[in-house]
């Protein structure tokens, strides 16, 4: 199958005459999270253009390794839709082509997702451009709110309100809980817990990821907020060992009052759990305000991609940014990354997407070339700290966990430079 | 040998010699496939690992030769030594539990009869399950909200409320031990059983007539005579446990709080999460040396003295 494709490619290359304008085919990888929207976008592009994109979907957990192995053997894809947080580390490793000029030449450059572009930059140049988007939000179960005597349409707007609502829902009975989070999942918590800290004025990194700032009062407050709910039994015991497998499923089960989640949950709940009445709101700060983690993918181009393929790749990116492309993305589970056409792209869809889109527009993405080491690793300092602190018996243990994480994060950052 | 070859062209070769040379060639031909396999799949990768361990070798980008820096670094890497220490503790506990249990099973099923062969099959069944699937089964059974262990503990009166056995070190550690024993005991049972069956029945009978009790017969006849299969089981168990990874990765992900990160798990993290391939290679070399020493030690201690 692969050999055939290779031979086919070689034949096309041999037939094409140099100097003539010709249709280009470029290879494109996407992580499996994009398996809904990407094939549809590629099909629409291929149907309309002389140039063709050849898509390959790669399992999300294997993408970085697979790309690196392919790159070592010279068979890396021409373009790649990459979890945005990896853009700095790919750029640092010299794997990416600079896209600054192309990006800035777009008339709607200022309307592209700021968060995506912030992690797409390295050393002042742009290597990754916004592609797909997923923002973190807070969801609540309206059925349970009603049963608990709460106003099902009133979203909690600060931590005290979350806590009150969670208590009311938990009082319903043994198998009903007020709140849920995956207590042993670094990726889930950078996505859904960190915005609570941001909205209260804290940060995790400073100086483009050169400095870790774990031991802040805001972080401590947010941890104590979660720890208090754990201590009072508002959170199911299973959360302590959940390394992400229950991140979405727990709320979908229908016995959880409130949980932080992502915009992806809107489509998934609508399709798979039509009976569940739920609301979507922003992740609030301690005393109000809100924030969000802007997740999703950046599109990047491999450093070794031939210049002759660039026009085709640029055409594809521009197609993705067109109102038509943004609509295809929005209808298949990704938020728009261009805010001037977001409303148009989301027209006719579930109104709750608008909240997620707004969260996205103001969302943040932490910047670090060693994100995997620090945050996503199952044994990294971030998840180790959270797991220990959320379920700690004393406030002193929380402090200790935070200080250890601060030291370890800083030493990992320093060692990588 | 080369003299024979040149001199032998055309000249009649003495019969005896020809036969010997013939057998040398056939010997070589017979081991050639194995030799090729060992070269391709063991010696070459080993050489590459050594080479890699002398480099700063990121997953992406160019490797850089740094000599022994990786080895120097690992000397002061606390997390590596603590993972190694945890692996040793696990190996000791699991080896005692596993071989003890396997021995008991082997004694039960060493006889003949239809029921016995049914038991053998039952005890052996978990062995054919992959470690990953067995571990996943365990994760599911241990889930505090939906699994079976928590309500079982409650019904037996061991705990008052629900209990998340994977959330604390001691119960989490023992649950992995139980899983491994359940899964692997059948395998070691077969090895020990073959040893038991090779003991001539008259030895036991003679001892019985002499008035030896069961424990005495076990101590003075059974154990010395199954020394070799026991040594094999011990070496397999120790080297297998020192390389433990899947069960800890899948069931506990190194948790709670990274207390169950084994040596191989640490190597995996360095190589494929942090993408420090050179450093991962250096750690692998250290583990290889430790395993070599352990195996030689066990072989020396357990080899039959009469053989020497």
A29: β partners:
A56, A80
A384 with B143: Cβ contact below 8 A? no
* Distance (Å, whole) CA A322 – CA A304: 27
- Rounded to an integer, the average pLDDT of B229-250 is 93
- What's the full length of chain B, in residues? 308
pLDDT at A212 over 70: yes
Instruction: Tell me the C-alpha to C-alpha distance, in Å, between residue B44 and each of A70, B39, B48, B49.
Output: 21, 6, 6, 9
Ramachandran assignment for A124, one of left (phi > 0), alpha (psi -120 to 50 degrees), beta (any other)? left
Q: What is the pLDDT of residue A122?
A: 93
User: If you average pLDDT over residues A23-36, what whole number do you get?
Assistant: 90
Closest CB to B145 among A237, A243, A384: A237
Is there a contact between B60 and A391 if contact means CB atoms under 8 Å apart?
A: no
Q: Residues 169-208, chain B: which have Cβ within 8 Å of A?
A: none
Tokens of residue B165, six digits: 């056995």
Dump pLDDT digits (tens) for A230-264: 999 999 988 998 888 889 999 999 999 999 999 98
Separation between Cα atoms, residue A51 and residue A49, nearest integer Å: 5
Q: CA of A184: which chain B residue's CA is closest?
A: B255
Contact A384 B257 (CB under 8 A): yes
Q: How close, in Å, is residue B45 to chain A by CA atoms?
A: 17
Provide the Cα torsion B114, B115, B121, B124; round to 10°: -130
Nearest to A210 by CA among A41, A412, A2: A412
* Contact criterion met (CB < 8 Å) for A378 and B254: yes
Kindly provide the ipTM of the predicted complex, given to two decimals: 0.79
- pLDDT score at A397: 95
Q: Is B58 at the interface with chain A, CB within 8 A?
A: yes
**Residue contact A384–B258, C-beta within 8 A:** yes
Q: Is the predicted pLDDT of residue B12 greater than 70, yes or no?
A: no
What are the tens digits of pLDDT across the range B121-131?
888 999 998 88
- Region A299-328: mean pLDDT is 94
**pLDDT at residue A389 is higher than 50:** yes
Gap between the Cα atoms of B184 and B126, Å rounded? 7
Alpha carbons B280 and B272: distance in angstroms, whole number: 9
User: What is the reported pLDDT for A68?
Assistant: 86
Q: Which of B58, B164, B261 sits opposite A93 (nearest CB)?
A: B58
pLDDT > 70 fraction of chain B, expressed in percent and rounded: 91
Q: Under a CB-based contact definition with an 8 Å cutoff, are residues B277 and B52 in contact?
A: yes
Instruction: Enumerate residues 6+ apart whose C-beta is below 8 A from B298.
Output: B231, B234, B235, B238
pLDDT > 90? residue B161: no
Alpha-carbon distance of B251 to B135, in angstroms, equals 6
Residue B274 to residue A241, Cβ atoms within 8 A:
no
Evaluate if residue A2 carries a pLDDT over 60: no
Q: Over chain A, what is the mean pLDDT? A: 90
> Span B194-205, mean pLDDT?
88
DSSP per position, A307-344: GGGHHHHHHHHHHHHSHHHHHHHHHTT-B-SBTTTHHH
pLDDT tier at B6, thresholds 50, 70, 90:
very low
Looking at CA atoms only, how far is residue B226 from chain A in angstroms? 43
What burial letters (b/e) apply to A190-226, b meaning 16+ CB within 10 Å?
bbbbbbbbbbbebbbbeeebeebbbebebbbbbbbbb
Rounded percentage of chain A residues whose pLDDT exceeds 90? 73
Q: Do B167 and A379 lie within an 8 Å CB cutoff?
A: no
Compute the average pLDDT of residues A106-112: 95
Min Cα distance A116 → chain B (Å) is: 22
Q: Report whether pLDDT(B1) > 50.
A: no
pLDDT value for A10? 47
User: Within a 10 A sphere around the Cβ of B1, how many other Cβ atoms?
Assistant: 6
Q: Is A268 exposed, middle or buried (0-12, 13-18, 19+ CB in 10 A)?
A: middle
- Do A241 and B166 lie within an 8 Å CB cutoff? yes
CA dihedral (B226, B231, B232, B238) in degrees, to 10, reads 140
A136-183 pLDDT tens trace = 999 999 999 999 999 999 999 999 999 999 999 999 987 899 999 999
B228, B232, B234, B230: which is closest to B305 by C-alpha? B228
Three-class DSSP category at B267? helix
**How many inter-chain contacts (A to B, CB under 8 Å) are there?**
71
Within an 8 Å CB–CB cutoff, is residue B145 touching chain A?
Answer: yes
State how far the Cα of B307 lies from the Cα of B121, in Å rounded to an integer: 35
Element (H, E) at B64: strand B64-65
Q: Which of A71, A243, A384 sits opposite B60 (nearest CB)?
A: A71
Determine how β-strand A128-141 pairs with β-strand A278-281: antiparallel
Mutation site for B-interface testing, chosen from A73, A183, A238, A413 by largest number of B Cβ within 10 Å: A238
The residue with greater pLDDT, B303 or B194, is B194
Q: What are the chain B neighbours of A391 within 8 Å (beta carbons)? A: 167
Average pLDDT, rounded, for chain B: 87
DSSP A274: T
Q: How many helices (H) and strands (E) does chain B have?
A: 16, 2
What's the rounded Cα separation, in Å, for the pair A96 and A127? Answer: 6
Tell me if B275 and A238 make a contact (CB, 8 A cut-off): no
Candidate from B58, B164, B261 with C-beta closest to A241: B164
A189 touches A219 (CB < 8 A): no
**Is there a cis peptide before residue B256, judged by omega within 30 degrees of 0?**
yes
Q: Counting every residue, how long is chain A?
A: 417
Chain A contact residues (CB < 8 Å to B):
64-65, 67-68, 71, 90, 93-95, 184, 236-238, 240-241, 243, 370, 372-373, 376-380, 384, 387-388, 391
pLDDT category of residue B145 using cuts at 50, 70 and 90: confident
User: Closest approach of chain B CAs to the CA of A326, in angstroms?
Assistant: 32
Query: Angle at which helices B169-197 and B78-108 pack, to 10 degrees?
Result: 40
List of chain B residues whose C-beta atoms are within 8 Å of the C-beta of residue A238: 143-146, 164
Contact predicate A130/A113, CB 8 Å: yes
The answer to whether residue A124 scores a pLDDT higher than 80 is: yes
Using CA atoms, how far apart are residues A391 and B277, in angstroms rounded to an integer?
A: 34
Contacts of B253 in chain A (CB under 8 A): 184, 243, 378-379
User: In Å, how far is A129's CA from the nearest CA of chain B?
Assistant: 21
The per-residue pLDDT for B149 is 87
Instruction: Identify the CA nearest to B139 among candidates B252, B219, B259.
Output: B252
Between the alpha carbon of residue A337 and those of residues A88, A190, A349, B38, the distances in Å are 19, 20, 16, 53
* Chain A, nearest residue to B61 by Cα: A93
Taking the CA of residue A108 and the nearest CA in chain B, the distance in Å comes to 33
Place of tokens 């990896």: A86
Classified as helix, coil or strand, A184 is: coil
Minimal Cα–Cα distance from B167 to chain A, Å?
Answer: 6
Inform me whether the C-beta atom of residue B253 falls under 8 Å from chain A C-beta atoms: yes
Answer whether residue A52 shows pLDDT above 70.
Answer: yes
- State yes or no: pLDDT of A17 exceeds 70: no
What pTM was estimated for this model as a whole?
0.83
Residue A1 has pLDDT above 50, yes or no: no
CA A347 to chain centre: 23
Assess contact for A79 and A36: CB atoms under 8 A: no
Distance of CA A56 to the CA centre of its chain: 20
Q: How far is CA A319 from the centre of its chain?
A: 22
The mean per-residue pLDDT over the stretch B181-191 comes to 94
> What would the DSSP string read from start to end of B220-245?
IIIHHHTHHHHHHHHHHHHHHHHT--
Which positions ≥6 away from B206 have C-beta within 8 Å? none
Distance of CA A400 to the CA centre of its chain: 29
């Amino acid at each position: 199958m692969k050999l055939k494709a290779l031979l086919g490619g070689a034949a096309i290359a041999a037939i094409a005459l140099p100097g003539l304008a010709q249709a280009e085919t470029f290879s494109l990888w996407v992580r499996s999270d994009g398996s809904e929207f990407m094939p549809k976008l590629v099909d629409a592009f291929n149907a309309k253009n002389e140039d063709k994109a050849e898509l390959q979907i790669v399992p999300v957990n294997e993408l970085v390794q697979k790309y690196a192995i392919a790159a070592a053997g010279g068979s890396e894809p021409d373009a790649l839709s990459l979890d945005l947080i990896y853009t700095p580390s790919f750029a640092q490793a010299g794997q990416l082509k600079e896209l600054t000029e192309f990006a800035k030449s777009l008339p709607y450059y200022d309307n592209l997702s700021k968060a995506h572009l912030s992690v797409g930059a390295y050393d002042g140049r742009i290597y990754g451009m916004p592609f797909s988007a997923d923002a973190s939000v807070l969801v609540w179960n309206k059925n349970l709110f009603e049963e608990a005597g709460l106003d099902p349409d009133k979203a909690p707007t600060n931590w005290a309100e979350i806590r009150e609502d969670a208590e009311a829902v938990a009082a319903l009975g043994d198998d009903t809980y007020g709140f849920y989070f995956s207590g042993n999942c670094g990726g889930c918590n950078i996505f859904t817990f960190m915005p609570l800290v941001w909205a209260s004025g804290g940060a995790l990194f400073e100086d483009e990821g050169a400095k870790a700032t774990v031991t802040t009062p805001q972080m401590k407050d947010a941890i104590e907020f979660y720890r208090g709910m754990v201590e009072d039994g508002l959170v199911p015991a299973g959360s302590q060992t959940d390394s992400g497998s229950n991140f979405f499923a727990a709320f979908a089960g229908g016995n959880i009052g409130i949980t932080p989640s992502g915009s992806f949950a809107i489509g998934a709940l609508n399709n798979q759990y039509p009976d569940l009445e739920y609301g979507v709101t922003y992740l609030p700060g301690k005393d109000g305000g809100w924030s969000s983690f802007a997740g999703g993918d950046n599109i990047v181009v491999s450093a070794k991609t031939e210049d002759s393929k660039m026009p085709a790749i640029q055409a594809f990116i521009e197609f993705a940014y067109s109102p038509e492309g943004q609509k295809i993305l929005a209808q298949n589970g990704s938020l728009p990354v261009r805010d001037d056409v977001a409303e148009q792209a989301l027209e006719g869809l579930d109104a709750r997407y608008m909240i997620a889109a707004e969260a996205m527009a103001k969302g943040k993405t932490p910047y670090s070339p060693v994100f995997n080491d620090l945050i996503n690793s199952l044994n990294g300092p971030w998840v180790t700290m959270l797991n220990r602190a959320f379920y700690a018996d004393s406030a002193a243990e929380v402090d200790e966990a935070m200080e250890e994480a601060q030291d370890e994060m800083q030493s990992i950052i320093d060692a990588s430079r | 040998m080369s003299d024979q070859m040149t001199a032998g062209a055309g000249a009649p070769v003495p019969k005896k010699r020809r036969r010997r040379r013939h057998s040398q060639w056939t010997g070589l031909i017979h081991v050639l496939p194995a030799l090729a396999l060992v070269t391709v799949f063991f010696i070459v990768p080993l050489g590459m690992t050594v080479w890699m361990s002398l480099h700063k070798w990121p997953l992406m980008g160019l490797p850089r030769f740094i000599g022994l820096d990786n080895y120097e670094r690992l000397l002061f890497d606390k997390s590596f030594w603590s993972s190694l220490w945890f692996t040793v503790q696990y190996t000791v506990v699991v080896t005692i539990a596993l071989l003890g249990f396997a021995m008991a099973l082997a004694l039960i099923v060493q006889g003949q009869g239809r029921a016995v062969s049914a038991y053998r099959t039952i005890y052996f069944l978990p062995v054919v399950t992959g470690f990953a699937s067995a571990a996943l089964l365990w994760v599911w059974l241990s889930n505090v909200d939906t699994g079976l262990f928590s309500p079982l503990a409650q019904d037996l009166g061991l705990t008052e409320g629900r209990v998340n056995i994977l959330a604390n070190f001691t119960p989490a550690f023992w649950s992995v031990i139980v899983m491994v024993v359940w899964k692997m005991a059948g395998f070691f049972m077969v090895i020990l059983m073959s040893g038991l069956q090779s003991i001539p029945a008259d030895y036991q009978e003679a001892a019985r007539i002499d008035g030896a009790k069961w424990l005495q017969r076990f101590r003075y006849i059974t154990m010395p005579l199954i020394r070799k299969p026991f040594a094999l089981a011990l070496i397999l168990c120790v080297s297998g446990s020192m390389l433990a990874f899947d069960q800890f990765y899948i069931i506990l992900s190194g948790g709670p709080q990274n207390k169950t990160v084994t040596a191989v798990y640490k190597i995996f993290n360095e190589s494929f999460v942090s993408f420090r391939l050179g450093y991962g290679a250096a750690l692998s070399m250290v583990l290889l040396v430790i395993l070599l020493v352990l195996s030689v030690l066990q072989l020396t201690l357990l080899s039959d003295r009469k053989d020497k």
